[in-house]
Structure 1
């Protein structure tokens, strides 16, 4: 595993997708593929039943190379961390707190190579030892940032990957430079629409499974915009609009009377009347990402439209 992790120091995720847990003790037998030294998120999701897909033991997910602040390292192979790239103001001003297996982390490099980062634009990709060579890391997902390790060769690009001394190779067409301008609403909506029919997973932030706020976080993250992780924090971090002024790419927020915001969706059509609104969202009841008109219940709990 290389160098050891130290409390008070930064670390980076060394697996394609790491799951952030409420505590080590809340994990279940079905979670084994997500707890492994080399995670298999598709196998984990396919093994879960409907109830397990919404277990509140899962808080969020982190992508390859994502930074965390290590708070505590336990002898049983767990680290208490703060996911500093996922704002969660109500939980911790530094980021999203939770637990990760230590084997899924590497100490953060002391210096970052001076290179323009790349971002994965394919829904999923894989990293190889050589161009078209041995598979080293599968399931690297949309929105993952990677630093180039040299020029492309034969359609493959070498990149630095946490936990690997030598550069790994990925198809060059799966990468794009990180944008230096804010994305348009249409670009973000098109990105989120690529995740239609992805399974609903409580806490999910990947192309294999997302929850409602995870879909929003991931869509903007692909363009380098760091939105908070949870829906209520996303509401606080965005600009309210008059209902009726929303346009595709804006956000709808939902809450029951006297309760905090519990759901979020991405506006997909300008409303042509107050009762004709549409959105793309990770739907808890249907357990997948869908685009649909607001149901009567959704319309009754709509508390606002916001713009990023």
Structure 2
């Protein structure tokens, strides 16, 4: 099933990439030149279907306007293909938006609204869109069945999850249960110390495509930390490097807390002028270690230069 826009599609269109804009008021499309090259990680095109936003620049047999959905599980694997055995490329967190373009065989195809990352989700992980009022600011927050710390909880939500509700004393009442306000922040609130966020994730297991305390990868850690600081970043380290316009030549002695350091296929956050916090495949966990050690390992792999860039958050 191709996800077509409904009566309220004009208000539900995705803002990033402006899906729907190219085809507004039109039912025919044409290319004025050759179809452009694209990055399939962030441009929703399949051999049979594409996001309507790319009509006019990319050819596809069919185009679809996205239907807005949101995640209803603490974290749902985003996969490269519609199979439980496919590689997990990222995760959609509770309450985060998803632009649904196709629904077939129990799989939803589209992209995450937070970073435009394209992939497949289990269809039952999605529900109608919400207008979030709060986000989880603690590493994890228990969703309780009643506004009582002794009550049982149906789920534990990860940092970055989005929720909609009304404050009731020390609690936020949502349609799914109650969350302690102490573990939340108003949507739009930012933490100006991304390194501090990353430090809270130390010893988290390494998981390719992960974005939570259960498991996280290097770019997921950076995305989480800088996102909490009010700076949304793309999903992968090379996309982050390009989006930030990071420097290609770096003097490691000039680095300070919060700086991002990019290596080929890797990224980390400086804890101070000498140590880096990163989700490391070598240690299979988030670790703090001397930057000089990471540079030496990268250089041993014949990477030149081993430190490929950084960007400061000031």
TM superposition score normalised by structure 2: 0.70
Alignment of 1:154-233 (within 5 A): 155-159=170-174, 166=175, 168-180=177-189, 183-184=191-192, 187-233=193-239
**CA offsets 1:239-271 (integer angstroms, 9 cap, x no match):** 43542332110111112xxxxxx000101222x
- Preserved contact between residue 145 and residue 154 of structure 2 (Cα < 8 Å): no
Partner residue, 2:288: 291
Q: Quick one: structure 1 residues 126 and 183, their matched pair in 2 at CA, closer, same or farther if it must change by over 3 Å?
A: closer
**CA offsets 1:52-106 (integer angstroms, 9 cap, x no match):** xxxx7010011111111111100x21111111211xxxxxxxx111000110000
Q: Quick one: structure 1 residues 179 and 106, their matched pair in 2 at CA, closer, same or farther if it must change by over 3 Å?
A: closer
Q: 1:130 aligns with which of 140, 146, 157?
A: 146
Instruction: Kindly state the Cα deviation for residue 107 of structure 1 after the two structures are TM-superposed.
Output: 2.4
- Preserved contact between residue 2 and residue 101 of structure 2 (Cα < 8 Å): no
Q: Quick one: structure 1 residues 144 and 224, their matched pair in 2 at CA, closer, same or farther if it must change by over 3 Å?
A: farther
TM superposition score normalised by structure 1: 0.72
Whether 2:280 is the aligned partner of 1:263: answer no
- Preserved contact between residue 126 and residue 135 of structure 1 (Cα < 8 Å): no
- How large is the RMSD of aligned CA atoms in angstroms? 2.3
Partner residue, 2:160: 143
- Preserved contact between residue 240 and residue 304 of structure 1 (Cα < 8 Å): yes
- Preserved contact between residue 5 and residue 107 of structure 1 (Cα < 8 Å): no
- Preserved contact between residue 158 and residue 170 of structure 1 (Cα < 8 Å): yes
Q: Gaps spanning 5+ residues in structure 2: where?
A: 5-65
Report 1 or 2 for greater relative contact order, CA contacts < 8 Å, sequence distance ≥ 6: 1
Equivalenced residue count is 240
| Aligned counterparts of 2:82 and 2:151: Cα–Cα separation in 1 | 33
| Aligned counterparts of 1:175 and 1:18: Cα–Cα separation in 2 | 21
Instruction: Kindly state the Cα deviation for residue 128 of structure 1 after the two structures are TM-superposed.
Output: 2.4
SS at match of 2:239: helix
Kindly name which structure, 1 or 2, has the bigger radius of gyration based on alpha carbons: 2
- Preserved contact between residue 248 and residue 268 of structure 1 (Cα < 8 Å): yes
- Preserved contact between residue 254 and residue 303 of structure 1 (Cα < 8 Å): yes
Whether 2:81 is the aligned partner of 1:23: answer yes
Which has the larger strand fraction? 1
SS at match of 1:269: coil
Q: Gaps spanning 5+ residues in structure 1: where?
A: 29-55, 87-94, 160-165, 256-261, 271-276
Whether 2:143 is the aligned partner of 1:85: answer no
- Preserved contact between residue 212 and residue 263 of structure 1 (Cα < 8 Å): yes
